[in-house]
Amino acid sequence: MNFRYEHLWCRAESWRHSEIWHVVEAMGYHPRLINLVWIGIMQDPILKMLVSLANSAGVETGITLHTSTGVISGMTISQKNYFEEIANGFANAWPGGPNEDIRTSFLSIGGAADEHDELTNEFIHLKDARVVSAGGFLPSSGEGAYWRGKVESVTGFHLGSYKP
């Protein structure tokens, strides 16, 4: 497991000498893992695996994500595919016809993100995404939207996506 949150070590240091620290440490957990769990940013390893499969092998999975702002449902896609589709969408919607400069700009953002492997699986990308609400789905008809969110912001998920 990659612990890139080492700067958070000192934030949780205050509880290091508490009774709970000694109990958890005696259970054999790594101190950095204890701190990640304690401050609430532990990422679900199954969700991270699904994101990794989308990015490395192009596996698309129907998924419904629960976040603090609501429920989002769609199909997982790779980061590369996400940026390609966003780039094409913006370029084709440009007044006067497709704009290759706009397309190239968005593709360069995606390319820069791909160069930082440690960040590639920190975001989840969905196509045909819909916000699920008591009143129905947003968007309510036609294709859903492309959606990008932080894996650490997902509080729960289940496989399968909702469709109107």
Q: Do 73 and 129 reside in the same domain of the chain? A: yes
C-alpha distances out from residue 70 to 129, 131, 156, Å: 13, 7, 11
Q: Which residues, 6 or more positions from 107, have their beta carbon under 8 angstroms from its beta carbon?
A: 83, 84, 87
Q: 């890139």: which residue's tokens?
A: 4
Phi then psi dihedrals of residue 22, to 5 deg: -65, -35
Q: Is residue 67 part of a domain?
A: yes
pLDDT at position 129 is: 95
Q: Do 54 and 25 reside in the same domain of the chain? A: no
- How high is the mean pLDDT of the chain? 77
pLDDT at position 3 is: 40
Tokens coding 127:
């196509």
* Number of domains making up the chain: 2
What does pTM read for this prediction? 0.70
Cis before 139 (ω within 30): yes
Rounded-to-integer distance, Cα 107 and Cα 85, Å: 9
Q: Is residue 164 part of a domain?
A: no
- Which amino acid, 1? M
Give per-residue pLDDT as tens, 77-113: 999 899 999 999 888 888 887 888 888 888 887 766 5
Q: Do 11 and 77 reside in the same domain of the chain? A: no
Residues in the chain: 164
Over residues 52-62, the mean pLDDT reads: 92
Contact 120, 136 (CB under 8 A): no
pLDDT at 35 over 90: no
